[in-house]
Structure 1
């Protein structure tokens, strides 16, 4: 038994990738991964070491041709690989050359996803070392097209799918996921994917891509991340008729049926992963996003990227831009196109920051911020018909029906687009902004690229290069 345990420990060590230490039959590598579990520390003889053909099919530990001669002997890989030993660096060079040959972004996306499925560490090395080039591939804007065509490019599951079929047994479904030490869950119901609308079950590309960024840029272990899609159906007629659609073929559940499924899901997550697991709501429709955040904000560790994450990034961008346009936040006038999750979330955080800086009540600082939705400027005369999250922005003002007229009347110094509708910052809108601002700040934030309110080139051209433009970027929602 002692001899067997020693061989198993040695095997686990050999399986390590540039490991620093061995931990009772497990290993800790440079990424802080693969420590022994608590069970292994107590009963190390229960460890099983992947080897041979199975090892080459395990994306977590597969190194492809980077396995050394010693590792090939220890893990029964002789004959399963060509004789050459190629370093990870050379593999990276070869793959980047291959990816750059593709002219279609979706082809690059599929190539990256296939790499993640066979060699996880090489995937993240590529992403980290070539972040500017590959970020738009694994997330926006390419992920939008990937979600639209997810049924056609689907190869193997990268997360958990929880549908209405699993109602009453969601806890059992969570236990089917092989990892137990989950720290972050990104969950979507696919109803408002980027600016593309209801993509149903195919919205899974967003949680998968978002968590890839959290690993590459935030250093969170891939094994601690769990993408989840809650499938309650879709109202997208095109998907319902698509023979390749991979989700439930029914219209979206609403009301009590929807609430009960989400409630069971939230309870099961806490029961299975504990109090500290972070649940990020991603790309839920407005009417559900605000309600879920309010409902579970006091009982779970929750976060809505569209409402809260977007707001913090945009506020940081505006504060940074003040160095170029001058003045303090309180001295500027803000006009938003879009009054959904992102728009109202950004507006509220800006109002709170102005309140903090000036000591004025937030009810007063909100008056420096005006919002335009699909029906025009949000004003007090519309208050009775407004959704609850828009009501704080219903100021005393005459009705204004469109963005251009609102710009001319409000005369904002900062124009922010979060509408999800492309080309709405027209030549006339940009020219109007430039007519009364020496350096107007334009934030065209909607994504994917096709839904951006304007391009940087358009803003510079129409304003005669006096505009400060903050464009949407990969990872922003």
Structure 2
């Protein structure tokens, strides 16, 4: 059957819902074939789909969800009152993609590329996702880190058209009404920020909206969750950033941040309204909340809602995957290694806890014992038991017995870690002395790189300016011996006539597939074992070709396949734990995940 929509002529009545579409044909595991080209990743695959009408003519060209630009055929131009509204040429989606990519490559300033992509998303949604999927390695740094950081800093100046929902203190008592203002009803994934700790850039207030928008673009492009099921949200409780408060172009509340009861009451109203409006199975992903709120919100709502904190849990899962994959290069098993972190916030403690959980799982030892292999350094030095009374609650499990150590270099020398992980948000902290000390500590040999002493160094802070060290510094200072990965991308490095490739420990490897796994299984809660399942799936997809280059992550060109495998592993764990509601369980979860994925090809209208 031909894919169809039924646009109405301008001025005619538009109904939200019309009659059922044709009888659905079954696909994998009893799903519904998307005979109309509808987006696939949807929780209602087992019910009869409905169709709705959209405006035609001039309005159709300005609806990003349905606009195809010059790709409207002659027949479609006649049927939908587009004659004369478009030049006579009919262009394929492939030709449109080629032209847009050519135009984007002409820009020398990354922020210009970002605004060009955002303009495209607001003009032609399917073409935007086609570009992002087909050119993921080139465009991922533009749509997300590192360029999204600069975009958030300048969001007020480049703001053109609102994306997502802005819920401020002005909406207190009305949040359910605000959610109902959003035109889409079947929301499956919400990414929400309060803008207090955007990447390593600090408090950007309302301008943090660039993060939820960017994350959800990746949910669709990399994980296949349909765009109409994604909702970006910014909770605006003010900002303590004086520069923004004095900026005439700032788009948020001009007041200091609300804290305490006022803050938590607003968040509680939001979480309650989300559940009331969208149901039990909507995933709420917390992004870039400050430490003091992030842990409390995750603990509070983890037992009542389907919630996920990407900074704590997503970062942990992707780093654990990189460490597990790196074992083929640095040797030994996970319990054989000793870990030292610079940074003891959300990311650092979240990664440390997941590594300890995996060590505990492998050794059958209590997690308290596993934690003893992991040491953390914060701004006051090594976290040790003598500091316990002054530590924030999330740091206390890492306060081991040891004499006080004031600096990172001292900690490297006395702890002698095999793995160094940076999650501090402070650039240039892995100095030449630190990397040289790490290299001297490690005498691990591998069959792939015989005779080399190999430390594992992960500089995870974003954006690039905040990275603890660069790839070039890591390879040069370690004399080519380090295995290196970072949060932001770095170009290959030549050292002593050899090319070194670094991996990117990017959360985009994990959260899109993780979210798809939750959606397609109908999970109602997130469990730590699901995070371990996601890490395992990612680590298993690193190829021998990548290992030979010294890389501990697979190429992003395979990201949709990677996401499908992660989704399948996460869904399998949800079924195993009894947390899945989509029954019966599909026989082949990987194929089912692939069948659920949104595809951005143009639809045919009649």
Which of the five TM-score ranges fits, normalised by the shorter chain?
over 0.9
Partner of 2:207: 202
2:481 aligned to 454, 466, 474, which one? 466
SS of the counterpart of 1:442?
Answer: strand
1:443 aligned to 432, 440, 458, which one? 458
2:89 aligned to 72, 81, 84, which one? 84
Partner of 2:536: none
Are 1:23 and 1:36, in contact at CA under 8 Å, matched by a contact in 2? no
Partner of 1:95: 100
Higher alpha-carbon deviation: 435-444 or 183-192: 435-444
Task: Note the C-alpha offset of 1:48.
Answer: 3.3
Partner of 1:284: 289
1:29 aligned to 24, 34, 37, which one? 37
SS of the counterpart of 1:389?
Answer: helix
Are 1:189 and 1:229, in contact at CA under 8 Å, matched by a contact in 2? yes
Alpha-carbon distance in structure 2 between the residues aligned to 1:28 and 1:10: 8
Return 5+ residue gaps in structure 1 as ranges: 1-8, 14-21
Q: Within 5 A, what are the aligned runs for 1:27-106?
A: 28-29=36-37, 31-32=39-40, 47-106=52-111
CA deviation vs aligned residue, 1:40-94 (integer Å, no higher than 9, x gap)? 978x7xx433200000000000000000001101110001000110111001000
Alpha-carbon distance in structure 2 between the residues aligned to 1:339 and 1:393: 9
CA RMSD of aligned residues (A): 2.2
* Residues 84/34 of structure 1: CA separation in 2 closer, same or farther (3 Å cut): farther
* Residues 40/176 of structure 1: CA separation in 2 closer, same or farther (3 Å cut): farther
Are 2:21 and 2:48, in contact at CA under 8 Å, matched by a contact in 1? no
Are 2:42 and 2:225, in contact at CA under 8 Å, matched by a contact in 1? no
Alpha-carbon distance in structure 2 between the residues aligned to 1:84 and 1:268: 48
2:412 aligned to 395, 404, 407, which one? 407
SS of the counterpart of 1:295?
Answer: helix
Q: Within 5 A, what are the aligned runs for 1:77-156?
A: 77-156=82-161
Give the total of aligned pairs.
Answer: 459
Task: Note the C-alpha offset of 1:472.
Answer: 1.4
Are 2:374 and 2:398, in contact at CA under 8 Å, matched by a contact in 1? yes
Alpha-carbon distance in structure 2 between the residues aligned to 1:340 and 1:296: 20
What is the TM-score with the length of structure 1 in the denominator? 0.93
Is residue 456 from structure 1 mapped to residue 474 from structure 2 by the alignment? Answer: no
Alpha-carbon distance in structure 2 between the residues aligned to 1:67 and 1:463: 57
Task: Note the C-alpha offset of 1:436.
Answer: 1.7
Alpha-carbon distance in structure 1 between the residues aligned to 2:5 and 2:337: 64
Task: Note the C-alpha offset of 1:38.
Answer: 12
SS of the counterpart of 1:28?
Answer: coil
SS of the counterpart of 2:308?
Answer: strand
CA deviation vs aligned residue, 1:194-219 (integer Å, no higher than 9, x gap)? 00000000000000000100100100
Are 2:5 and 2:53, in contact at CA under 8 Å, matched by a contact in 1? no
1:355 aligned to 360, 379, 382, which one? 360
Alpha-carbon distance in structure 1 between the residues aligned to 2:346 and 2:252: 25
Higher alpha-carbon deviation: 32-41 or 399-408: 32-41
* Residues 406/31 of structure 1: CA separation in 2 closer, same or farther (3 Å cut): same
Alpha-carbon distance in structure 2 between the residues aligned to 1:41 and 1:469: 48
SS of the counterpart of 2:311?
Answer: helix
Alpha-carbon distance in structure 2 between the residues aligned to 1:55 and 1:37: 27
SS of the counterpart of 1:181?
Answer: coil
Return 5+ residue gaps in structure 2 as ranges: 9-19, 24-33, 443-452, 490-505, 509-606
Alpha-carbon distance in structure 2 between the residues aligned to 1:454 and 1:389: 26
Q: Within 5 A, what are the aligned runs for 1:174-253?
A: 174-253=179-258
Q: Within 5 A, what are the aligned runs for 1:386-397?
A: 386-397=391-402
Alpha-carbon distance in structure 2 between the residues aligned to 1:283 and 1:336: 20
CA deviation vs aligned residue, 1:333-384 (integer Å, no higher than 9, x gap)? 1000000000000000000100110111110110000000001000001100
Q: Which has the higher contact order (CA 8 A, sep 6+)?
A: 2
Are 1:28 and 1:35, in contact at CA under 8 Å, matched by a contact in 2? no
Are 2:169 and 2:236, in contact at CA under 8 Å, matched by a contact in 1? yes
* Residues 39/330 of structure 1: CA separation in 2 closer, same or farther (3 Å cut): closer
SS of the counterpart of 1:242?
Answer: coil
SS of the counterpart of 2:192?
Answer: strand
Is residue 11 from structure 1 mapped to residue 33 from structure 2 by the alignment? Answer: no
